[in-house]
Amino acid sequence: MKKPVTILVVVALLAVVGLLAWPRLHGAKTVQLPPGSKPTRHSGGGMPIEWGVAYNAKEYKKVQTMASQAISDDPKYVQGWMEYGMASVRLGQMDKARHAYEQALSLFQVRHREDPSNAQEMYEQAVMLLLLGESDKAEITLKQAHIDYPTDKNIAYLTEHITESQQNFKSETVEP
């Protein structure tokens, strides 16, 4: 009786070791967090996949709840503020949406001041201004961004297609 159990345990251990070693053997990279930051489930900066699933299923209250928890855990989690704002617009809660978008805009502005070489932060500021219904300020931001980052493709595209972008963002926009 001991022999089959021993063989089963050895096979299970080899399987676990193989699964743990697979990413390293096949060139997977680990994510390095900036010094002084602590890992969270939001460390990558993007939106957790379950938010996208809920948003696509039009479960806006669920998205709002998940985003609210995320920004409660980490008030500097800009994607959380953006998703909270978008879900709030869809729920007709314009005051909450405006507050969330303003928080996200403020975070993008701070990030840009901390790293002026990062064109993405300027792009995101313009997007937030569009979501806030402040298209004139978005255009000014984009013009300056285009001067500062003439080779950035995202900024160039948004600058050239601002009217189209305003229409695309219409369902998530807070009216001024």
Per-residue pLDDT tens for 101-140? 999 999 999 999 999 999 999 999 999 999 999 999 999 9
Two tokens at 146?
Answer: 């285009």
Distances (CA, A) of 40 to 16, 64, 66, 74: 25, 19, 14, 9
What is the mean pLDDT, run by run of 10 residues, along the chain of 176 residues? 44 34 34 37 59 86 94 94 94 96 96 94 94 93 94 91 85 81
Which residues lie closer than 8 Å to 68 by C-beta, 6 or more apart? 80, 84
Residue with tokens 């064109």: 119
Q: What is the pLDDT of residue 24?
A: 35
Two tokens at 77?
Answer: 């989690």
Q: What is the pLDDT of residue 3?
A: 53
What pTM was estimated for this model as a whole?
0.71
Q: What is the pLDDT of residue 95?
A: 96
Q: What is the pLDDT of residue 63?
A: 93
CATH code that applies to domain 49-172? 1.25.40.10
Distances (CA, A) of 5 to 8, 17, 18: 5, 18, 20
